[in-house]
Amino acid sequence: MHHSELLLREYAGAPVSVLAATDQDADVAALRFITFNTQWKVHTAGRISEAVEALKDQNIGVVIANRQLPDGTWDDLLQSLRLQRNAARLIVCSPAADTRFWAQVLSMGGYDVLATPFERAEVLRAGYLGWLSWSRASRITPSVPERRISDLSVPITRTAKAG
Give pLDDT tens digits along the chain (163 positions): 666 666 667 777 778 899 999 999 999 999 999 999 888 999 999 999 999 999 988 889 999 999 999 999 999 999 999 998 889 999 999 998 789 999 999 999 999 999 999 999 999 999 999 999 998 888 754 454 444 434 444 444 444 455 4
Q: Where are the domains of the chain?
A: 3-152
Range 3-152 has CATH code 3.40.50.2300 = yes
Within 13 Å and on the Cβ side, how many CA atoms surround 9?
7
Entry pTM: 0.80
Distance CA 122, CA 91 (A): 11
- Phi, psi at residue 63, to the nearest 5°? -115, 125
